[in-house]
Chains A and B, each alone.
Chain A
Amino acid sequence: MTDATAGAGPNPQDAAAKAAEKPGPMLAADGTPLKKSLSRALRRQKLRALMLIAPLLIFVLVTFVAPIADMLFRSVENQIVSDTLPRTTAALDDWNADSGELPGEAVYEGLYYDMVIAEERKLHTRLGSRLNYEQTGLSSLFRQTGRGVDDIGEVYFDQFDDLNPAWDEAVTWAELMGEPNWVAEAKARAGNDESIPGFEMKDGIEDLLPRTAEMYGIFAEFTETEDEDSPIEEEPWEMVHVALYQDLVSQDVSGYDGAQADLLNEAKAAVGDFETIGFKDGFLEIEDDWGNHDIWATIKTYSPNYTNGYFLAAVDMEKTPDGPALRDENERIYGILFQRTMFMSLMITFSCILLGYPVAWLLANLPSRSANLLLILVLLPFWTSLLVRTSAWKVMLQQQGVINDVLVWLGLVADDARLVMINNQFGTIVAMTHILLPFMILPLYSVMQTIPPSYLRAAKSLGATNWTAFWRVYFPQSVPGIGAGSILVFILAIGYYITPEIVGGTTGTFISNRIAYHISSSLNWGLAAALGTILLAVVMALYWCYDKIVGIDNVKLG
């Protein structure tokens, strides 16, 4: 048995034996262990390589990894509810939605303060839109409530005012709540039109009037940062009056001897006779819907910081008191859209294989001069704008379009029965096959180029007919090209947006069109992110399947 490898080269067993003779680690010339000095040398190489790819790495991180991470985060993120309604959601923790009763007064109290603050910050409409995804009507409810919520405060505001007009003065409040030094300084500066230092809360006032202190603090901060004004000159919101009323009813203020102590004690004596309005009643007066159990259930369901609601919505499910359940038959759209997207992408991929394979074969087997010309023709579509190409298909395929005209002229189709070939699945498949065809041809071509013609000749010389030679010998070797092209085309197709948007009509649109709709029209980014995440997962799952079945190392781009 003679061959080139036998006997040539050192015997690995010999080498191993030699290495085993030496005790301890191998040493380099300078005495350091060989392993260490090798890894040091390699580390420098690696560092240099890293520096070379650093610009690309940063680019990819910023433009690819970060947006995907952001998308994944958005698809479960739900902080807007608890951020906007912190007191309400905290109070709702104690409420059991299954009880069938409305939440208690504490929840409405929290809602009152939350709504006033949100309204001042103009956040309540955003929250309304967010919750409207889950239950229609919530958007207008929050808008209406924002307008009416001050009515509750007015009741107490007027009574404090009636009791003593001093309560209508900004300075009164500032003296009551502010640190005396700050009050003096602020007053002096205000008189001279100088800039006023930031508000400082009086020591101990939080214990005395906890709600008032909290609300006044919020008011003061908002006034300073948003209105660029000072609480020394601005009368507080009605909500602070409400808080003061609540504090005076429940707290003992006799120990207080700071500024405005008399006024406070006067008010303390009077509040017992105040006309009151319950928070719950106040809200019911603004909007009947606040008495709707379902609305509270929805708010409670979406009060955690993270939610699977977007994902449920993306697979046509919704949260119900009994856990997630499928939506009604007529409300399901995403399942159908996902199925359609998969089906059409597969159709497009197969059409591309069918049309692209012969072209690639021709390209690989023509003499190079004609092959180059053909390659230019294949690449020609890349030189034309995508929109132009898609619109051209519209012109070709529409009912008054070129193809229908020709068919009618030939008498193959009656004039009143022109074919519908656009704004449906057929149109989308045709146009997208055309657009994605080069992505199939190029990998196929480069793989076919590496298959020497001698294989076909060998097969024929062994007795195979043209077809057998092709099918048994040539085709299996071109499969890696088909694999690469299919992955490319399929992944491009599954996320394609422009073409289905233009020629897809209603039956030929993809999931990506829906994603775009949620991003730019309905502004439901969470749902868009969930849909995108599912799409990403589907693609990766398919990729994984492909790897298991065909083997990813069988994919060659050339």
Chain B
Amino acid sequence: MEPIGHEGLGRLLDLGENLSTPHIVFSHNDLTEATDLESGGSIKIGKSFDLPPKPLGLDSDKEPYLHLSENIAVLDNTSSLRPQKIVEIASKFREEAGYSRLVYAPAVEPSDMPILAYLGVDVFDDLNVELRSSTGWLLEDGSWIKSSSKVDIFSANREELNRWVSKIRNSISNGTLREFVERTSLHNPRVSQILHHSTQLLVEKGAKNHYLIRANNLSLKHPSVIDFQERLSRFTPPVDNMVLLVLPCSARKPYFKSSSHKRFFNTIREVDNYLSLHIISVTSPLGLVPRELEFCYPAAHYDIAVTGVWSPTEVEMLRTQLSRIEPEKHYCKAIVHAGSSSEIMTTLLKERGLETIDTKVERPSSFEGLEVLQNVARMSLNGSEPVNSKQRAQGEAIGLANFQYPNSDFLTTSEISGRMPYKLRCGDLAAISPVVGGFGLTLSGGKAYSSNGGGVVKAENFKLVGDLFAVGVNGHKGDWQIGDQVVIEQKDEITAVGIAKMNPEEMVSMKRGIAVEVRHHA
């Protein structure tokens, strides 16, 4: 089996013979009954595999949750487990089953399949669909409708189920499984609850792919959004006692590339000591995005309909984000120039006790708006402590590095040079990379990272050219999530840095597929 793609905890595996996961088995052809009460019979996925014994006498509330045969791990009772329990069990799938077994969830409803695939289930069956068919219900896009036509319901439902599962596979390969799950959750309380409870698990263990987030109300719980928001508490503004400038977000990402933000920048740079102004953009669902973090996923990868109206949940989210930045401790005052978001931001900043000026401009990037901004900026910066560009660059690097790396001293104690956005560097260790989404490590940076707790992939001793494949991996040190930077070590030498395409244990157990997309070789 070869991992082709990941989303959340779900995996698109190429199983050979034109088969891939998430896979559907049809009971009549692919499941064989056991010859005695206790055995589990077998399942055909290309080849025939033994199923583990039935869970006779076991309490499904207790570990181990999965029942294992050599190739298959069965999650019995999936369709009746409580949503919270499912998530708890999903967090242990790989611990119990490893990566080389396929996780099979028998007798689940089609509407549960997308979320279960998102949590790591590889194989489903048609048992419940067959029962629906026998009672005259037709499967349509994951829901049941009463059939009036004279079609052969059994075969129509099997075909539709096949399509449904192939949609799940396509979603993983396109990075839209989350969207698919959100859609199925809209009118399905059970899926919605499972999704709700899975947020933290996905933040901690899910793949961090840089897919575009087409945001809606549910995106406030998107794991990448939550992750970004939580990390904000590690961010610090470049220099203390600066003036905070709150700007609206823009449709174009990163914001600094948009025409409105270019105009803002051109306006403020005419003001003396403009390096003392620090820009944070206000947006949903991310909340607050400091300029230094505009490359960090998903700040440059989301779309949302801007309505100018902040829901109570969003206001609460902004309040939380401000509490993570603690502006009253770091800034001497704030200017809010955020159009329809100005009123709420002014209120929230004042709530924290920071002196705040609202420019009260309706169209912030209009000629008149910019003029007001310039005047207010000039007034606010008058007499403030001057900041030089070296200080500023140093502070920007620290803010970004802290956000990205838990122990970032190894980067920020080096010679900082350049400026945001593109030229900022930490000595010869790291430079801004839009692909990485922040500081991308160089080979020397990789060496430093590996001795500072960074994830290390141990590979066989061969001349590494191009990407590292799973077959060449024989161990790992430290932990990471898919999408994180990792260092490759061969024969005790760091030979490359790149981006992890598999989970730590997965790289070791898989024999095929790209383990690390290499960015720099020795």
A binds B: no
List the interface of chain A (C-beta within 8 A of B): none
